[in-house]
Chains A and B, each alone.
Chain A
Amino acid sequence: MNRPTNKNALLQVQDLRTWFYTEEGVVRAIDGVSFTVRRGETFAVVGESGCGKSMTALSIMKLVPEPAGRIISGKILLEGQDLCQLPEVEMRRLRGQRISMIFQEPMTSLNPVMTVGAQIAETLQHHFSMKGAAAKARACELLDTVGIPDPITRYSEYPHQMSGGMKQRIMIAMALSGEPDLLIADEPTTALDVTIQAQILELLKKLQKERGMALLLITHDLAVVSEIADKIAVMYAGQIVEMSDRDVFFEHPKHPYSQKLFDSLPVKNKKGKPLEIIRGNVPPLSKAFAGCRFVNRCDQAWDRCEQVIPQWTSFLTGGVRCHLASPKDAETRPEEATEVVKQEALDPQISLKKETLLKISELKVHFPIQKGLFKKTVGYVKAVDGISLAIDAGKTVALVGESGCGKTTTGKAILQLIRSISGSIFFGDVDLTQLTGEDLRKKRKDFQIIFQDPYSSLNPRMMVRDIIKEGMAAQKISNESMDSSTSRCDEESTIDRLLDDVGLPAQVKNRYPHEFSGGQRQRICIARVLAVNPKLIVCDEPTSALDVSVQAQILNLLKRLQEKLGLAYLFITHNISVVEYFAQEIAVMYLGRIVEYGLVEEVLENPKHPYTRALLSAVPQVDPKEKRSIIRLAGDLPSPINPPQGCHFHPRCNEALPVCRESYPPQSSFSSSHSTCCHLY
């Protein structure tokens, strides 16, 4: 396998095996991983959850959770010195100084009861014996380096006083404080908004260039990889299946798994067609493999793949672990296996009749802020501040915006889970805001919600059968004419049919949510929603907690159900590429108001509002050749308690006019569907 004798090699991982000893047996989380990171290079490890990429990072830091996890064999050479042989005391000197790490969740990765300054100074004191004023001065310098305004004030603030992006900058400052040769970034931007993600990636690129440090980037996001990586390794089931230079990889991925990953990405030009999915699941890592680990999910597999473990085939810029790549092995492949099972293409959506299902006008949701001895209301959080929106039957409207802009509150207000303070929500000819009690409860069967996190939105103590049945029982959906025994039969067959609709076998109804994977749970959530025959489903980030290949499955499912049942979706998301693929209309929200609205093609091809433009420019592109210039937004989203005077966006806007400071812009239209609120037009 790839063993360069290159002098430039900073980190060489050779045949690393990290296993976990659990009650169920040995889990081979990392099973023979080798790669080399050169000085000053960005090396990306890509893969879906559970493939062992984070564990690889922790193994290099020698922070594998003990005693269950252990590095069984292999070498981790940092400039020729094997970290596996190093005693813990020596290792501690390396950690944070020569190798630093930043983590996925900046929200929880900082100590909540220590000031951020003290947390940075701690590293300085530990590695350089810097104390007091010197440490503080250096820490402030680092805060300045990572682009935190007013470092001296920020030094003595606590993590909870900062936004997510700021906290990630603090993490980076902390990692830089030891002046590392290698920075490991484990999903550094996954928990952040696209605009913030763009800032952080730019910062990492800049720092890397200035300091000549190597960056080991762990991510699931191919777009992020295409933005900043030099070399890429794809991991699957504890092994690297493909390694390549970025351009070669994005031009021509060799391993069937890599190809599938690309195919399952929702992008514009796949609109109207179902996404490629990777069937099946990642195999359990607790058993030994006789053949290729991907064989059960591979469309190009033949019997050799099941019988012989594929060896690493090297080529100029990397290598691949697949029988297809080795000409000798590929010869054994029978001809007929080339036939790829094609999925039936969905008909492009043609829906001529236009029937407005939901019409929201001037909807406002304000939360009071109470203060003082008698809890006087001193202000309002204007979460949703006058939005108007219409959804046609059978259509998908996407609601996009940064976190905190009021997307989720809008969704909940439509469902009357939060009551609005003014405005109307007409569902057909009924104003939902006027409904109460029993009337509202009965009406609820027409509109349902799917939540973001399928792990916490299902009751863990209820069987799938009961989860699905609950809504039906509450809405009394059953054939009342039949006697009780046949109606029970009927109920069971309805559950079976619903599970079949979402692509789950009927037997699963007697199981509990924890027995399912994230994608399967989201399917159960969808089945639960479908049980009451809704007309509108609010999808609140339904795929953002899922892997790309699972996301493709869920999107396909939602699309198919829409065709079949004529459902309308309000699709709340921050993922623009999903919108591009999935929705017909798009509403861009900023600080409680819709700033631009139109057909997806209109808004994405020809964005009018400066905020929409900035948002779209920040979305990383999968194609590395498609160069984009990011429109940088200054600062963070302002507080919805005190939105800026005039246009809410003007303090961050590059094109602000004097009038923007004074009045909120009126709506300007560009076509019957496309409109924006901006003084520029």
Chain B
Amino acid sequence: MTAYIVRRLLYAFPILIGVNLLTFLLFFVINTPDDMARLHLGGKRVTQEAVDKWKADHGYNKPLAINLSAQGSGKLTETIFFEKSLRLFFFDFGRADDGRNIGADIRQRMWPSLAIAIPGLLVGLFVNVTVAMLIAFFRASYIDTWGVIVAVAMMSISSLFYIIGGQFLFSKMLRLVPISGYDGGLNAVKFLILPVIIGLIAGVGTGTRWYRTIFLEEIGKDYVRTARAKGLSELTVLFGHVLRNALVPILTGVVVVIPLLFLGSLITESFFSIPGLGSYTIDAINSQDFAIVRAMVFLGSFLYIIGLLLTDISYTWVDPRVRLN
């Protein structure tokens, strides 16, 4: 097990190096520092001096990969690649274009992201499993048929509709919760209820349908027949036997996204003006702040790798048959 985890972590290095090189290629070779400067300074009528000054201010005035004018090891270290890209490995994200420390911003903004993502995940999982279980209990009946129809209908509607519709109904018409915004401490709750509920509604169709398939597949298996032959009631069979087996694919599907919760949701956070990492990324994209985008891409890849590793480990936890070797 330990050997497995160590090996997987070692595998992560080449992947992260690949991610790093790819982001470097995208952000500095394809989109050169000159392009960035011109974008920031606005349009085409920018003098070369202004571009150079912007680059010098933001530390983009060095060669990309090899600095021939520097001495000794400086040939490699005094370059954009070393200073901007390689430092990501140590989670040193540097400064944004407006001079703010990206690392500090991320540490501060991940809490609001987590504040909607974690309740969203837990409530979503609970509701999806419960509804799917109910549908599976009433399989091959009208409840099943209509459950699936409603689920398909709900998953066919864009989440944007749910957001705007929800804000209109609950905030504008019924005036139950604020339309958008955020506050620290317990005051945050009233701002978080609506996004969590809307996230739930937007995801319940897909989740229910998927989990229903998993449950029905398990219900058809031989061990379920054995459990019924013992004289157990249908509910005991479902909760005692089917659920535990169905949790294997469900849980592993959930575990992989847990690390990504830190990154927040791009759409929900910007619509509800929640100062999390999702809206941070969107704002950075809108303002062409590539330092932030680069940091978020790297962080996302890293968290995804961690998520996949956690998934494999969680397999051994829920399924005694799996041995990591």
Binding site for B on A (CB under 8 A): 61, 63, 66-67, 92-97, 100-101, 103, 105, 108-114, 122-123, 126-127, 158, 160, 171, 174, 178, 370-374
Contacts and interface: CB of A to CB of B under 8 A. Distances in A.
Contacts of B7: 373-374
Nearest to A371: B325
B230 A126 contact: yes
B318 A63 contact: no
Contact of A109 (B3, B6, B226, B233): B226
B239 to A, nearest CB: 12
A105 B245 contact: no
Interface string B286-303: 000000000000000000
Contacts of A127: 231
Contacts of A370: 325
A65 to B, nearest CB: 9
A114 B224 CA distance: 12
A139 to B, nearest CB: 13
A63 B225 contact: yes
B321 A67 contact: no
Nearest to A110: B223
B228 A95 contact: yes
Contacts of B232: 92, 96, 122, 126
A374 B4 CA distance: 9
A158 B245 CA distance: 13
Interface string B211-255: 000000000011101111111110010001100110010000000
B173 interface: no
12 contacts: A63-B225, A93-B231, A96-B229, A96-B232, A97-B231, A108-B223, A113-B244, A113-B321, A122-B230, A370-B325, A371-B325, A372-B3
Interface in B273-289: none
Contact of B229 (A101, A108, A113, A374): A101
The size class of the interface chain B forms with chain A is 20 to 34
Nearest to B223: A111
Nearest to B220: A65
B231 A111 contact: no
Nearest to A108: B222
Nearest to B321: A160
Nearest 8 A-B pairs (CB), nearest first?
Answer: A96-B231, A95-B231, A96-B230, A108-B222, A158-B320, A111-B223, A373-B3, A109-B222
B319 interface: yes
Contacts of A63: 225, 228-229
Given A67-B140, A126-B236, 14 more contacts: A61-B229, A63-B225, A97-B231, A100-B229, A103-B222, A109-B222, A111-B227, A112-B319, A113-B248, A113-B318, A127-B231, A160-B321, A171-B226, A178-B231
A313 to B, nearest CB: 35
B231 A112 contact: no
A511 B5 CA distance: 50
B233 A112 contact: no
Interface in B298-325: 318-321, 325
A95 B230 contact: yes
Contact of B245 (A94, A101, A111): A111
Contacts of A92: 231-233
B241 A114 contact: yes
A156 to B, nearest CB: 11
Given A92-B233, A93-B231, A110 B226 contact: yes
Nearest to B244: A113
A643 to B, nearest CB: 22
A57 B318 CA distance: 34
Contacts of B241: 111, 114
B17 to A, nearest CB: 20
Contacts of B325: 370-371
